[in-house]
Amino acid sequence: MMRFSTALAMTATLTATTVALVPAAASAHGGAPPQIPTAGGYGGAVSTVDPTATAVGLDVLRRGGNAVDAAVAAAATLGVTEPFSAGIGGGGFFVYYDAKHRKVHTIDGRESGPATMTEDIFVDPADGLPYDFAEARVSGLSVGTPGTLATWEAATGKWGTRSLGSLLQPAAKVADRGFAVDATFRQQIADNAAPFAQFDSTRELYLPGGAPPAVGSVHRNPDLADTYRLIARRGTGVFYRGPVAADIVRTVQNPPVADDPAAPWAYPIRPGDLRLSDLANYRLRFPAPTRSDYRGLTVYGMSTPSSGGTAVGEALNILERTDLSEVSRTQALHQYLESSALSFADRNRYVGAYTPQPVLDRLISDRWARQRACQIDPAQALTKPVPPGDITASGCTPARAGGKVEDGQSTTNLTVADRWGNVVEYTLTIEQTGGNAMVVPGRGFLLNNELTDFNFTPTQGSAPDPNLPGPNKRPRSSMSPTIVLKDGRPFLALGSPGGATIITTVLQVLVNRIDLGMTLPEAMAAPRASQRNTAAVQAEPAFIAQYGPGLGGLGHTFTPVAELGAATAIEFGRGGRMIASAEPARRGGGAAGVVHPRR
């Protein structure tokens, strides 16, 4: 999504070495940074969905900060300019390549449920049926303890060179002085007009005069600026144990429902039971990354409660059994779609927050890939949904169980590298576009609805469901921040938003780049399809037009969707050269930049 900050009105280009981070209020009619989806050069690179955030990250790199510093500063800025997708009211997964020690680390900053959460939290006690998604989402029931701010603190403390407080300052200035509203920002508010209208704090910020702000108007968020500055002065304790924590709990337990909502809402707005003790007791996790080998490369991803690393790794292992460069494009895409369906079947059956490590290891093993790949028929698509494999068996014997795919959409992603070779791949979210629709009064940020990523009721028949709610449990995620090494050094880093389609977006970009001979910008821009073990493949219109006839002949059917994902990536070449790439069009287009452009 494009965000044109008035703070950067005089900036000529994101790749110029003279980008100045001076977020002063300026006329919304002034010049804005152009949309640059691809930039090549040296000295560090940043790719995000927003030019303001990219410019903030580049400025940190130019001033001597490292990739972690730049990633945190950019992420904080996205909390201002991308407030419906990310922010301190949510969580995420942070993957870091430490160039000095040539090691990949991860931070699990996923939101966790309250200590009092039960398996039937999303079942209506009046009739024993699960709540409609909209009812569950726009409620206090859906809010998990946010992990984003703790992630920023841990990342900067472990690997950064700047204080968290200093890295919050650029975002606070953008929030205070404003940025120009674009069509995507306005549309996201319009799409949430009814839920936003239910809460005084939300409609005051995002529905001025009862309507979404006009394109070109300047949007300011002084409450968020003050919250950032309070955290900068007093530390994250104010968020997890102090006055901000008290305001979060009050909002969840007593939603700030308007006396006169400007739009009807079909559901009661239910309070939740998030408590001060839940915020005070929140802890990050630092799991080992998932690892799989693919055509001589080493692919690192995020382990549970994310399913991304496991699902991407399993699909790659299945695909590796076919030389995709030697088959037709139709056959290569057939293999991609079938591998995705098989990995999603296994993900839904086995992967959740508490999946034992031996099970995860089995799913991402070459032996398991052989068991699953043998089911693919080059001449005919499998009937979907395919059953998961039997983790206790050998050969092609499938288990008998179904599976559900969650479809949360509101996420953002950023990719950063510095001149020393450190790399950050970071996906962060508040789940649905607009989160649970509640702005914390006086604090300026939306709360997440992450707990709706749990399955509301069992989905696996007589088999255990790994993704049911539970006390302090973290819901399964599809976020797939990925770092690929070649001979122990970075080759490619990428990630995307898009709910469950994140997995297929990352997988398809990898296949495009590694197997199908595309450059990174071509791999990013190519039309996408997402097979998540459903009867029909979700696909962009351009994909259907180009590949639908051939794949249809193999039995694939398609459901058109406007777009899939909004990826960011950096590729690493010889001599320190980097190619930063963002979306040229999806979600309004992204912004890539380098410290020193290619001459």
So which residues are the catalytic ones?
Answer: 411
Q: Counting beta carbons within 10 angstroms of the beta carbon of residue 490, is it exposed (0 to 12), middle (13 to 18) or buried (19 or more)?
A: buried
171 dihedral zone (left: phi>0; alpha: psi -120 to 50; beta):
alpha
Amino acid at position 404, single letter: K
Structure tokens at 170: 């650029």
The SS3 of residue 335 is: helix
Helix (H) or strand (E) holding 183: helix 183-191
Question: Tokens 């399964």 belong to which residue?
Answer: 476
Q: What sign does the CA torsion over 181, 182, 185, 190 have?
A: positive
Structure tokens at 111: 């939101």
Structure tokens at 96: 């870091």
Cβ atoms 496, 413 nearer than 8 A: yes
Long-range contacts, stretch 549-558, CB < 8 angstroms, 24+ apart: 550/328, 550/329, 550/330, 551/330, 551/333, 551/334, 551/337, 551/381, 553/330, 554/330, 554/334, 554/379, 554/380, 554/381, 555/380, 555/381, 556/334, 556/337, 556/381, 556/531, 558/529
How many CA atoms lie within 13 Å of 503's alpha carbon, on the beta-carbon side? 36
CA 570, 503, 69 angle in degrees (round to 5)? 40
Q: Which of 589, 586, 484 is nearest to 543 (CA)?
A: 586
